[in-house]
Chain A
Amino acid sequence: MLTVTHLPQVLALFLFVVGMLIVLLRRNTIVLLMGIELMLNAANLSLVAFARSQGQLDGQIMVFFVITIAAAESAVGLSILVNLYRNFGAVTTDRAQTLQG
């Protein structure tokens, strides 16, 4: 039976798997960063739903910190991406293979 307690957890699982597939399959680095954001969002949803069902506050506090760190991560990631575009002329992952040897 799908209740208010179970539904956010199922949705969080689905969003996390879709985000993982985006990170694994897409070649566009900006979409890849969006996949990471989707996974973080899924983890946040799971934390908030657990905080509600367990009757505790720590999950919501942790989500607050995760959102802050996600903002920092996307700022740094996008500036790396701008550098990638400047050096390789594209933002696809198959152009940035210079470390592959």
Chain B
Amino acid sequence: MVDIIYPLSFLAAASALLALVMLFAKDALTCAMALLGVLLSTAGIYGMIGAHFVATIQLVVYAGAIMVLFVFSIMLLNLKKLGDRFPITSPRFLIGAVSGLAIVGAGTWGILQWIPQSYGTWDNQAMLAAGGNTRILAHSLFTQHAIAFEAVSVALIVALVGAVTLAKRKFE
């Protein structure tokens, strides 16, 4: 049994740093690349803690489709010339940073007090014995959550039509 805490903390540190890059970068494309790094690190974390199917979905949908959409929009609108100046010494930013740090500090303290307790039976060994994460998840998705699955597919169709209509239409 290999201890996964070291690669896990490496990925966590990488994604935390890249999130800070997103906050401070002026260029929108830099932000997009940093977000891509965060999503890839998160996919690695999912894979390492045993959620293999979610890791794959994260890679294909989030890091693939959504990021392509973002980069495409940045290229289409040619946002490079805008140069979003970020006011690092403004009171707005200072108040935000201080309260954010307070929330993170208090929350981290609270999380470290938490003693986890398992209520279910699906630990990694049980999943492996029952045929792997993807198989169990698919079975649960198409039996117990079938109606939610169909509802989400309807929502996707509505969003697709809405996005095309919104982008095509000329508002006066």
Contact = CB atoms under 8 A, between A and B. Distances in A.
A24 B66 contact: no
B171 A83 contact: yes
Interface string A52-76: 1111110011011101111111111
B118 A53 contact: yes
What is the interface of chain B mostly: helix, strand, loop, or mixed? Answer: helix
Contacts of A90: 82
A50 B18 CA distance: 24
Contacts of B112: 1-2, 6, 10
Contacts of A51: 51
Nearest to B114: A6
Find the residue from A19, A67, A81, A86 having the highest chain B CB count within 10 A. Answer: A67
Contacts of A79: 162-164, 166-167
B51 A6 contact: no
Interface residues of B, number: 84
Given A54-B120, A67-B61, A87 B45 contact: no
Contacts, number: 226
A55 B19 contact: no
Interface in A18-33: 18-22, 24-28, 30-31, 33
| Chain A, interface residues (CB within 8 Å), range | 35 or more
Interface of B: 4-5, 8-9, 12, 15-16, 19-20, 22-23, 28, 31-32, 35, 38-39, 42, 45-46, 49-51, 53-54, 57-58, 61-62, 65-66, 69-70, 73-74, 76-77, 79, 82, 84, 86, 92-93, 96-97, 100, 103-104, 107-108, 111-112, 114, 116-124, 126, 133, 136-137, 140-141, 145, 148, 152, 155-156, 158-160, 162-164, 166-167, 169-171
